[in-house]
Amino acid sequence: MSQQLAIVTQGLTKQYKNITAVNNLDLAVPKGTIYGFLGPNGAGKTTTIRMLLGLVKPSKGTLSILGYNLETQRNKIAQKVGAIVETPAFYNYLSAEDNLKVLAYSSNLSLTSNEINKLIDRVGLTGRGKDKVKTYSLGMKQRLGIAATLLSNPEILFLDEPTNGLDPAGTVEMRNLISELGAENRTIFISSHLLNEVEQICSDVVIVKEGEKKLEGKMSSLLAQTKGFAIKANPSIEALSILQQYPNLETKPETDDWLYVKAQADDIPSVISALVSARVRIYQVIERRNSLEELFLELTGQPKQALSHS
Amino acid sequence: MLTWNLFKAELLKTYKLSINQILMVIMNVMGGFFYLSMILMAKVYGGGYLREAEVMLAFPRSIDLSIMTINHFGVLLAIIYMANNIGSEYGRDTWKMILPRYGSRLSFIATKILVALLAMLTLFVFTIGFWVTLSYLGAIFLHVNPTTQLTPGEKTTTEAFKALTMTALKMSFYGLLTALATTVARSVVGGVIAGMALSLTLATAISVPIQTFVRCMPSVHISNIEMQWTKNTRELEEISQAFGTVVSTQTSLCVVTASILLIIGLAFYIFSKRDIAGN
């Protein structure tokens, strides 16, 4: 049986005069997944989220949420969706409690003060519910934004840069909260620049650039691909000359002691055997896998200097 | 679909918005300052000041002053109020938080306009009540009769009611026009400027020497309704000259109603079609 889909877009396009913000984007987000939506600045992430929320009308293409057409069946979707788009916006002259009341009423819900306070507690704003939002830091507003998305206990959450403005401890808390929300069988569509965060919490990922999809897949399978091996050997110069005799291997020095060998896992025993036979000492062999950061930079054409050697 | 919850959301925002509280304070401070000066002058100097205070403070004549003030400031306040009410949602970028929460965008804008009109009406009813109470208390303080019988030729409470109704009509018309301007401009400042420019342009429409043009102007029809209702023959003559004929109250009412419906329709259409793409 095919997996049920929470969000489906087909040929989604948004054109602003001469600029194509989103170009022919096909998405199929399975229900119950934490779906990372990645791309550099200006890739069309926020425009896509705004289109998925009905704030911006697509120039072309179709989109459906939970099987309902967004254009014609909005009333069936509205209460099933919660969202933070870019920086959360609130009525600064109102308290957090009043803001949540306004947003609950706007969802045609009448929540009790107790229910609102529970949400405030859940996002770590205990004791600050009566304070006006104008006294809140960006991080606190982000937390309040999460509380606002949960008012109608939605099936789908759209979170656009949810860790923006949070300190490291707040980021960890937010990550745990998002994982917790995902474990409640919600679909979470999360856009973030923090690739490490996305790598840790998302089950699926799509990378977009200039409004076009560059890669989509399960995080586990994308990151499982072996890129090659790093070998710590001594003397490394001799090791390099031995390995360069294998035409099917691509070998290059990384540091004084380390060599990088682009090879399949099946090639490694013979490589090690050849080095040992030549009296090269082998200290470590490390399998190199794709990191989300490397994949992202490779697909989006960002400078390679940004890559770490880890 | 309009729901009570949407009204509650809008009422909560409106009630706690400081500019609305400031408008309420301004209107009442103006009254307070005026009456306090009159009462002090009457108390200190007596004579003519006391007789003048006795005339002005007596109910129902005291209603006139508050209505006169509202007539002067009503349209301006309606423009500022409506522009702020709708424009601030664009300024704060809060539409993105509330619009995805409900099936229809129109419900939000319709509720917003209705609550804004209701809030303006409440502001003016409260102002009249406050000013009348002040004058009543002032009369008691000065030991003069707080009530009086109006003499023939004086404005009656019916006329005061007519004046207030016309002010409410003007405020609604210009308020709605500003609502339309603000949905186009998508900002408070843009809404206020456009609202004022439109109201000034429409106010001068009567002097345009093209009768067909004048006949299409709802502002002139509003004046026509007012002058016919209050039987102001001199002004009526001027309006008839501008129209090129005598236009009945019913016809003018039809034109004004059609204009209001057109304005609302346009505002709804623009609001429902335009992207909320952020600041």
Taking an 8 Å cut-off on Cβ atoms, the answer to whether A105 and B8 are in contact is yes
From the list B245, B194, B196, B188, the residue with the least C-alpha distance to B220 is: B245
- SS3 state of residue B97: helix
Burial tier of A44 (Cβ tally within 10 Å: 0-12, 13-18, 19+): buried
Report the candidate in A190, A96, A200, A113 with the shortest Cα–Cα distance to residue A148: A96
Q: Which residues in chain A have their CB less than 8 angstroms from residue B95's CB? A: 55
Closest CA to B6 of A96, A83, A73, A78: A78
Give chain B's largest Cα–Cα span: 67
Q: Please report residues of A whose CB lies closer than 8 A to that of B6.
A: 105-106, 108
- Amino acid at the residue B129: G
Q: Residues B13-69: pLDDT tens digits? A: 998 888 888 888 888 888 888 888 989 999 899 889 998 888 888 888 888 878 877
Q: What are phi and psi of A68, to 5 degrees?
A: -100, 140
A64-78 tens-digit pLDDT: 999 999 888 888 898
A59 touching B (Cβ < 8 Å):
no
DSSP string, A42-69: TSSHHHHHHHHTTSS--SEEEEEETTEE
- Select the residue of B8, B100, B278 nearest A54 (Cβ to Cβ): B100
Neighbours of A282 (CB within 10 A): 14
* A-B contacts (CB, under 8 Å): 101
Q: Do A94 and B13 touch (CB under 8 A)?
A: yes
DSSP B170-201: HHHHHHHHHHHHHHHH-SHHHHHHHHHHHHHH
B13–A contact, CB cutoff 8 A = yes
- Could you give the CA distance from residue A182 to residue B32 in angstroms, rounded to a whole number? 59
Measured over the CA atoms of residue B80, residue B86, residue B87 and residue B88, the dihedral's sign is positive
* pLDDT one-digit tens code per residue, A282-295: 999 998 887 888 88
For B277, the closest chain A residue by CA position comes to A56
- In this prediction the ipTM stands at 0.85
**CA A104/CA A119 separation, integer angstroms:** 12
| Three-state DSSP state, B150 | coil
Q: Does B276 touch chain A (CB under 8 A)?
A: yes
**B273 in A contact zone (CB under 8 Å):** yes
Question: Which uninterrupted H or E stretch holds A258?
Answer: strand A258-262
Structure confidence by residue, pLDDT tens digits, A236-257: 889 999 988 888 888 888 888 8
Phi-psi region of A54 (alpha: psi -120 to 50; beta: other; left: phi over 0): left
Nearest 10 degrees: CA dihedral of B183, B188, B189, B195? 50
d(CA A172, CA B160): 66
Q: Distance, in angstroms, between A241 CA and closest chain B CA? A: 59
Q: In what order do the strands lie in the sheet with A226-234?
A: A250-253, A258-262, A226-234, A281-289
Q: In the beta sheet, which residues pair with residue A209?
A: A212
State how far the Cα of A69 lies from the Cα of B17, in Å rounded to an integer.
36
Beta carbons within 8 Å of B174's beta carbon, 6+ residues apart: B75, B78, B79, B195, B198, B199
d(CA B76, CA B193): 11
Query: Residue A267 — pLDDT band, cuts 50, 70, 90?
Result: confident
Mean pLDDT of the region B123-140? 88
Q: Give the pLDDT confidence score for residue A248 in this predicted structure.
A: 83
Question: Residue A35's beta-bridge partner residues?
Answer: A189, A204
Query: How do residues A297-308 score in pLDDT, each as one tens digit?
Result: 888 876 655 443
Helix B105-141 and helix B18-45: axis angle, to 10°? 10
Model pLDDT for residues B108-119, shown as the tens digit of each residue: 999 999 999 898
The answer to whether B101 contacts A106, with C-beta atoms less than 8 Å apart, is yes
pLDDT surpasses 70 at A309: no
Prior bond of A162 cis (ω within 30°): no
- Interface check for B98 against chain A (CB to CB < 8 A): the answer is yes
On whether the CB atoms of residues A213 and A26 are closer than 8 A, the answer is yes
Of the candidates B105, B123, B125, the residue with the CA atom closest to the CA atom of residue B115: B123
Residues of B in Cβ contact (< 8 Å) with A116: none
Judged by phi (left if over 0) then psi (alpha if -120 to 50, else beta), residue B110 lies in alpha
Write out pLDDT tens, residues A187-198: 999 998 788 888
Q: Does B272 touch chain A (CB under 8 A)?
A: no
Does residue A275 carry a pLDDT above 50? Answer: yes
* Cα A51 off chain centre by: 18
Asked if the Cβ–Cβ distance from A106 to B98 is below 8 Å, we say: yes
Indicate the residue of A55, A76, A102 with minimum beta-carbon distance to B96.
Answer: A55
How many residues are present in chain B?
A: 279
Nearest CA in chain B to A14: B275
Name the burial class of residue B57, with classes exposed (0-12), middle (13-18) and buried (19+) by CB atoms within 10 angstroms of its CB: buried
Look up residue B246 and give its DSSP letter. P
Nearest chain B Cα to A71, which residue? B103
- pTM score, two decimals? 0.83
Q: Does A19 touch chain B (CB under 8 A)?
A: no
Whether A89 and B17 lie within 8 Å, measured CB to CB: no
